[in-house]
Amino acid sequence: MNHDQSFDALHVNNINLWAHVGVLEDERLFGQEFILDITLWLDFSKAIQGDDLLATADYSIAIKGLQRLSFALNCLTIELFSEKVLDYLETVYGSIPMQISLTKTKPPIAGFTGTVSIQRVRNQELLN
């Protein structure tokens, strides 16, 4: 880690998203619920020193934008959905270290009552 810069983690958990994602045609036609957790590694030092809102990440922008993105999306795989999420976060916050966990809450598999999640990390090398 670069000792001249502090990295702190902002966690935003349990973002409810509705998306048209899945192998089955009904999943893409009617959509379904997903839960998204995001972690952004940022330097909080300026926000802490000056109690400055402009020096931190406005997570409401990400939440609202991700809700719009997910509702408009129509694809087969949770992998592509996760890539679109990471791309969006990078357009909002720039190339910062980030991690997401995207969970399909009710996969249509007979006899299965669990969830399916994918975890992705982007720009992790910037933490070193």
Does residue 2 fall inside a structural domain? no
Integer Cα distance of 1 and 27 in angstroms: 43
Q: Is residue 1 part of a domain?
A: no
Mean pLDDT of the region 41-70: 89
Using CA atoms, how far residue 79 sits from 20, 61, 86, 92, 127, in Å, is 13, 23, 11, 20, 24
How many independent structural domains does the chain possess? 1
In which band, very low, low, confident or very high, does the pLDDT at 1 lie, cut at 50, 70 and 90? very low
**Cα–Cα dist 87/56, whole Å:** 20
Q: Is residue 3 part of a domain?
A: no
Residue 5 has pLDDT above 90, yes or no: no
pLDDT band at 2 (very low <50, low <70, confident <90, very high): very low
pLDDT surpassing 90 at residue 117: yes
Written as six digits, the tokens of 16 are: 């409810």
CATH code for position 69: 3.30.1130.10
Domain of residue 82: give its range.
8-127
Beta bridge partners of 73: none
> Which pairing describes strands 8-21 and 74-75: parallel, antiparallel, or unpaired?
parallel
How distant, in Å, are the alpha carbons of 4, 32, 64, 93 from that of 61?
Answer: 28, 22, 5, 10
What number is the average pLDDT over the span 87-105? 96
Beta strand residue intervals within the chain, DSSP E = 8-21, 32-42, 74-75, 98-104, 116-122
Q: Is residue 96 part of a domain?
A: yes
Nearest-5° Cα angle at 83, 81 to 85: 70
Q: What does the pLDDT average to over 25-42?
A: 95
- The yes-or-no verdict on residue 33 having pLDDT over 80 is yes
* pLDDT at residue 35, as a whole number: 98
Predicted pLDDT of residue 44: 86
* 49 domain residue, yes or no: yes
Mean pLDDT over each residue of the chain, to the nearest integer: 91
Q: What is the pLDDT of residues 60-82, one digit of tens each?
A: 999 999 999 999 999 999 999 99
